[in-house]
Amino acid sequence: MRPRAFTLIELLIVIAIVALLVALMVPTFSKAKSLARSAACAGNLHHVGEAFTVSLGTRPHPDPLEWPQCPQDAVPGGGIYLCPEADDAMADISQYEIWLQYEEVYISFEDTSAVEGLCKVIDKGDYTEYWFDDGWYRDLDDFLFHVSKTTPKVATFRPDLAGVGHGRIVSLCRRREVVLGWEDLRNRSAGDSFTLDGEGLTNYGINSRLNEVSTSAMLVLLDYPRLRAHEGEDVTKELDQGARHLGQLNVLWGDFSVRAAGPTALDPWVHPELWER
């Protein structure tokens, strides 16, 4: 006697059960993957804390302006400076723009000379020139930035002799937010420069309020979309953006321990003692 074959209905029931099991298991696998990445991130911050102890010597806390060169100069190990849950390392020049306030136009750091006539890019070998027009004559010679190809990259400002903006405000922005100190390029001088945030080196941000009297209860380094945290930006919004690990941020604390916390628990308007003394 031949064995009975599956009927179509029985086959559909089996397929439905398998599909249901897969649907139930996928979120579990996704959460497990996120937890593994969070643990890897915490391990990275722990290693960065150890690197700080090597690089700082007798100093109790790092200088925020030295991050990430300190401790990378002493302990390179690039992988430990990158959170596995983040999309990428911090900004390159493509994340910066020029804002022409009077025209309400953002100009990207990319060659648009053949189309809009607002930015021209010239490769000079060891650096790149970005020529900009302030929207007046479309002659692409009003001001430029020299951007080095070293790591970290440094952008140096070179205004036209006639000035920038023709009496109107021109600003440097990053991700559509004005860069502090660069609100009006008319107030900047030739040779003024800034270091591109992170430039492929890290996606962790350091507490910009660290100083010699900082305590072990203060945060040092954390998941953050900027190189330096609490430097005049909207910290509450940036903390929400940095909450990469199931709504939490991993934090390297002043005693070089690593613990996770939610955005509200780290908000400087709620807990200022975590940020400065």
Which of 268, 190, 255, 276 lies closest to 52, judged by CA? 255
Q: Which of 165, 195, 225 is the last residue of a domain?
A: 195
Which of 86, 76, 98, 69 lies closest to 198, judged by CA? 69
The pLDDT, as a whole number, for residue 148 is 86
Same domain, residue pair 76 and 207: yes
Q: Find out whether 33 and 187 touch, Cβ atoms under 8 Å.
A: no
Kindly report, residue by residue over 4-46, the tens digit of the pLDDT. 666 778 778 888 888 888 777 767 677 778 889 999 999 999 9
Same domain, residue pair 125 and 162: yes
Same domain, residue pair 80 and 148: no
Q: Find out whether 180 and 232 touch, Cβ atoms under 8 Å.
A: yes
Half-sphere exposure of 33 (CA within 13 A, CB side): 8
Kindly report, residue by residue over 45-60, the tens digit of the pLDDT. 999 999 998 888 777 7
Residue 29 maps to a domain = no
Range of 216's domain? 56-90+200-277
Mean pLDDT of 207-228: 86
Same domain, residue pair 208 and 80: yes
135 SS3 class: coil
Q: Find out whether 97 and 64 touch, Cβ atoms under 8 Å.
A: no
Mean pLDDT of 112-125: 81
Cα–Cα separations (whole angstroms), residue 117 to 135, 142, 165: 9, 12, 16
The pLDDT, as a whole number, for residue 15 is 85
Residue 259 maps to a domain = yes
Out of 69-73, 131-135, 158-162, 217-221, pick the least confident.
158-162
Kindly report, residue by residue over 260-274, the tens digit of the pLDDT. 999 999 999 999 999
Which of 51, 77, 39 lies closest to 244, judged by CA? 39
Our count of domains for the chain comes to: 2
| Whether pLDDT at 89 is above 60 | no
Of the chain, the percentage scoring pLDDT greater than 70 comes to: 84
Predicted structure pTM score: 0.60
The type of residue at 70 is: C
| Whether pLDDT at 199 is above 60 | no
| Whether pLDDT at 102 is above 70 | yes
Residue 8 maps to a domain = no
Tokens of 52: 């700080």
The type of residue at 131 is: W
Q: Furthest-apart CA pair in the chain: how many Å?
A: 99
The pLDDT, as a whole number, for residue 227 is 82
| Whether pLDDT at 90 is above 60 | no
25 SS3 class: helix
Same domain, residue pair 208 and 82: yes
Kindly report, residue by residue over 136-194, the tens digit of the pLDDT. 665 656 788 998 887 667 889 988 755 555 567 889 987 777 887 889 888 888 889 88
Same domain, residue pair 148 and 74: no
Residue 25 maps to a domain = no
135-156 burial: b if 16+ Cβ within 10 Å, else e: beeeeeebbbbbbbeeebbbbe
Q: Which of 195, 210, 233 is the last residue of a domain?
A: 195
Same domain, residue pair 114 and 179: yes
Residue 31 maps to a domain = no
Residue 14 maps to a domain = no
